[in-house]
């Protein structure tokens, strides 16, 4: 098989043919059936070494231009973002040709997309505010219980880098933080012991 795509950043087993990259994008969008930003798709491909950055961006632009995928404006974390979403053409291509892609590539891309969507959901439901003060930064974390905050707390950090790190670590597992804080204030030593093992 002749490779016609750039291969920088692509590991063995990754995609080296432009049609395969476009097909994986179709498969990915039709499998998750949710809007993804171009950056989300690039991130999925890059973090898993599935395809070259430039080839993914080129494929996305071409697919939008040809109507293979649709664009939508999507409100993510109070920021409007242009996203791509599957349409009937996307679904048909994915259905007819998905078996031409290696199953490991398909599974890897879809798994990464679901993790990305789960992360976005956690960030939306459990928001973090970073407020600059005279002494540094105050990070306010909110743990949502649907229509209300189950818990919120503020923590002071001296610089923006630590504030961003607190935000990132909080979003990784807000449920664990909630459990640890609740066990601490209720003096539940058994639960604390479990949580720190």
- Mean pLDDT calculated for residue range 30-40: 89
Question: C-alpha angle with apex 163: 160 to 164, nearest 5 degrees?
Answer: 90
Report the CATH architecture of 18-123.
Orthogonal Bundle (1.10)
Mean pLDDT of the chain: 86
Query: Residue 175: what are its φ and ψ, rounded to 5°?
Result: -65, -40
What pLDDT does 47 receive?
87
Beta bridge partners of 111: none
Residue 100: pLDDT band (50, 70, 90) is: confident
- Mean pLDDT calculated for residue range 34-47: 89
Give dist(CA 30, CA 24) in Å, integer. 10
Give dist(CA 192, CA 104) in Å, integer. 39
Residues of the chain with pLDDT > 90: what percent? 34
Give dist(CA 192, CA 197) in Å, integer. 9
Give dist(CA 57, CA 42) in Å, integer. 7
Question: What single DSSP character describes residue 128?
Answer: E
Q: How many helices (H) and strands (E) does the chain have?
A: 8, 6
Report the candidate in 118, 108, 94, 138 with the shortest Cα–Cα distance to residue 44.
108
Question: C-alpha angle with apex 172: 122 to 112, nearest 5 degrees?
Answer: 75
Q: Which residue has the higher pLDDT, 185 or 73?
A: 185
User: Which stretch of 24-33, 40-49, 97-106 has the lowest confidence by average pLDDT?
Assistant: 97-106
Q: Is the pLDDT reported for residue 3 higher than 80?
A: no
For the chain, domain boundaries? 18-123, 126-195
Whole-model pTM over 0.95:
no
Q: Is the pLDDT reported for residue 76 higher than 80?
A: no
Report the candidate in 2, 48, 45 with the shortest Cα–Cα distance to residue 21.
45
What pLDDT does 86 receive?
92
Classify burial at 151, counting beta carbons within 10 Å of its beta carbon; exposed 0-12, middle 13-18, buried 19 or more. middle
Q: Is the pLDDT reported for residue 62 higher than 80?
A: yes
> Which letter, b or e, does each residue of 95-123 get, where b requires 16 or more Cβ atoms within 10 Å of its Cβ?
eeebeebeeebbebbbebbeebeeebebb
Residue 108: pLDDT band (50, 70, 90) is: confident
């Amino acid at each position: 098989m002749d490779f016609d795509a750039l291969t920088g950043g692509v590991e063995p087993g990754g995609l080296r043919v432009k049609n395969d990259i476009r097909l994986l994008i179709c498969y990915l969008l039709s499998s998750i059936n949710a809007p993804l930003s171009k950056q989300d798709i690039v991130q999925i491909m890059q973090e898993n070494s599935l395809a070259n950055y430039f080839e993914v961006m080129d494929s996305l632009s071409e697919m939008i231009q040809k109507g293979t995928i649709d664009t939508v404006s999507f409100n993510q974390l109070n920021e409007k973002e242009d996203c791509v979403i599957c349409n009937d053409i996307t679904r048909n291509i994915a259905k007819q040709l998905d078996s031409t892609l290696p199953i490991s590539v398909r599974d890897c891309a879809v798994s990464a997309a679901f993790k990305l969507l789960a992360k976005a959901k956690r960030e939306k439901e459990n928001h973090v505010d970073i407020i600059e003060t005279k002494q540094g930064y105050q990070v306010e974390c909110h743990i949502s219980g649907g229509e209300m905050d189950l818990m919120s707390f503020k923590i002071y950090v001296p610089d923006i880098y630590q504030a961003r790190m607190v935000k990132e670590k909080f979003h990784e597992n807000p449920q664990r933080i909630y459990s640890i804080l609740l066990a601490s204030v209720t003096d539940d030593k058994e639960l604390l012991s479990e949580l720190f093992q």
